[in-house]
A and B are shown apart, each in its own frame.
Chain A
């Protein structure tokens, strides 16, 4: 089953992308990792790949032009994309922001660690869990406020 898994990482920092993918490959070399450097690029990738959707999306928040939050809102309002588990991977430690992203449908919120040795465990955590979206997140989120 794991041989076919596909992960999309969206982060404008190329070092962070490379370190995360390195950790993922250490866990399972067969996982297909695709990266995008902002939300718009990621949406284009998802819309132009009809064959297969990612099993997880790892999403940074602070990105130029098209933020992670905007990307999350877009895919949770897209019937085809809304059930892909999205894990936030950010420098933010804001409780308010994490709550808001959970309401928008993010599965998990992780702060990027200072020590790069910890990235393995974050990646292993993501790949090891069975991400089931809560019922409330199967519907398009309400962002009227």
Chain B
């Protein structure tokens, strides 16, 4: 559960099942009380329908926390991005960075740096689509060493250049009629 949409889905499922909860955050639900076996079964079934699941494994939970911490840093408006990536994770999760990197690789079969880059590019896409920001501004706000590096990384991860992506995103908007809405 590492996106806002997933959080909304989980809230709806819990409400539908009449399961009392205090709050739903990215990756974490604080329940008002424990789940009965029946509630847990139904919750598992409903979550599976949306390709989500309750995690019982401690390492999986830690990996989820790593992912959330990385995603949040790209959405923060403070100086977190100025802090070194490894220092931010260590500080946020109270573990040595190398331990976190080892657990991440073991559970995901991929490196933490790759996930970091994929999420950074996801944020670049959002800034292009929803904020209409230019590449210079995006490179600066996400602490890229250069615009050129941002473009190369974008192309590798998405298969498109940022300019191509922006064009594809804007094209349907120009052609849409009054009766159409577009959802991505």
List residues of A whose CB falls within 8 A of some B CB. Answer: 1-2, 26-28, 93-95, 98-99, 107-111, 113, 115, 118, 120-122, 124-125, 127-130, 132, 134
How long is the Cα–Cα vector from A110 to B101 in the complex, in angstroms?
8
Closest to A88 in B: B98
List the interface of chain B (C-beta within 8 A of A): 84-86, 96-99, 101-102, 105, 110-111, 113-114, 116-117, 120, 143-146, 148-150, 152-153, 156
A120: B residues at CB distance < 8 A: 156
Chain B residues positioned under 8 Å from A113 (CB to CB): 105, 111
Residues of chain A within 8 A of B99, CB atoms compared: 95
3 tightest CB-CB pairs across the interface, nearest first? A98-B98, A121-B114, A125-B113
User: Which of A93, A130, A134 interacts with B98 by CB under 8 Å?
Assistant: A93
Please name 17 pairs of A and B residues whose Cβ atoms are closer than 8 Å in the assembled complex, sorted by A: A2-B145, A2-B146, A28-B149, A95-B102, A98-B98, A99-B96, A107-B84, A109-B101, A111-B98, A118-B111, A120-B156, A121-B111, A121-B117, A124-B152, A127-B149, A130-B143, A130-B145
Partner pick for A121 among B85, B113, B145, B146, CB 8 A cutoff? B113
Given contacts A108-B86, A130-B143, 18 further A-B contacts (CB under 8 A): A1-B145, A2-B145, A2-B149, A27-B152, A28-B148, A28-B149, A98-B98, A99-B96, A110-B111, A120-B156, A121-B113, A124-B117, A124-B153, A128-B120, A128-B144, A128-B145, A128-B149, A134-B84
Interchain Cβ contacts within 8 Å, total number: 80
Q: Name which residue of chain B comes closest to A119, CB basis.
A: B111
In the complex the two chains form, is A94's CB within 8 Å of B98's CB?
yes
Q: Which residues of B contact A28 (CB under 8 A)?
A: 148-149, 152
Q: Which of the residues B101, B116, B120, B150 comes within 8 Å of A111, measured between beta carbons?
A: B101
- Kindly provide the distance from the CB of A113 to the nearest chain B CB, expressed in whole angstroms: 6
